[in-house]
Amino acid sequence: MPTMKILISNDDGYQAPGIVALYEALKEVAEVEVVAPEHNNSAKSNALTLHSPLYVHRAANGFRYVNGTPADCVHIALTGLLGYRPDLVVSGINNGANMGDDTIYSGTVGAAMEGYLFGIPAIAFSQTEKGWKHLDAAAARARELVQQMLAKQMVGTQPWLLNVNIPCLPAGEIKSAKVCRLGRRHAAEAVITQTSPRGETMYWIGAAGPALDESEGTDFHATALGHVAVTPLKVDLCDHERLGYWAQSVAQLSPKGQA
């Protein structure tokens, strides 16, 4: 089997322990290259930088870093920087959970999704808690998952997008992978205000809300029990189930006499 080529990115920045651990783990099973943001870009989702130039530099360890977003990194890697098409795009390991509604905001998911949008299979990896505790165990589990998918030829021509959350546990305590639906969170906590040294009000986005739907079958539920949560994601935002309802409703809005 020819060696697979994996592009690695993240949203915590190229110096984050999570991406270093992921690189060290995956380089044992594939040819890996890192193109990642220079600075922390958490919660940047799929944002692209269109109004300022992007620069790419290479760090001493070989990682390339970009003054842009996670999606910028994967986008420029795939559209000219790499000069080849990777077989898999992997993002993470993120510092904290990306479950339920987090997936909408997550730059970790955004980087993986950019690969998926270019027709390449992609995986976003996150640890369920911040602080990098048991990171080696999470990286080993990520490697195991990728290695097994390569061996079972799940990384082929068909693109797919997986969101994977790994519980912060020692290696021996992380349970099997479970395929899950996304849970839901309550609305975010209130904005936090402070007064700047110049007397202006500063606003800080509040913390993500606690779980609203953490019932059986969700990513919240699986990881709370120690399982690795694997959620297949899609990008189509269209509400297919309600197309009929809206067709009828919008028809009622049409001016009289018009088809």
Tell me the β-bridge partners of 179. 230
Tell me the β-bridge partners of 124. 91, 163
Report the C-alpha gap between 210 and 194 in whole angstroms: 23
Judged by CB under 5 A, which stretch of 29-37, 54-62, 92-100, 128-136 contacts Mn ion?
92-100
Residue 98 touching Mn ion (CB under 5 A): no
What φ, ψ does residue 179 adopt, rounded to 5°? Answer: -80, 130
Question: Half-sphere exposure of residue 101, counting CA atoms within 13 Å on the CB side?
Answer: 12
Closest residue to Mn ion in the complex (CB): 42
CB 44 within 8 A of CB 107: yes
Residue 72 touching Mn ion (CB under 5 A): no
Nearer to Mn ion, 31 or 129 (CB): 129
Pairing of strands 184-185, 211-213: antiparallel
Q: How far is the CB of 40 from Mn ion (least distance, A)?
A: 7
Q: How far is the CB of 38 from Mn ion (least distance, A)?
A: 14
Nearer to Mn ion, 49 or 147 (CB): 49
Nearer to Mn ion, 9 or 30 (CB): 9
CB 7 within 8 A of CB 115: yes
- Given 94, 165, 223, 231, the residue binding Mn ion (CB under 5 A): 94
Residue 42 touching Mn ion (CB under 5 A): yes
Q: How far is the CB of 5 from Mn ion (least distance, A)?
A: 24
CB 175 within 8 A of CB 225: yes
Site of interaction with Mn ion (CB under 5 A): 11-12, 42, 94
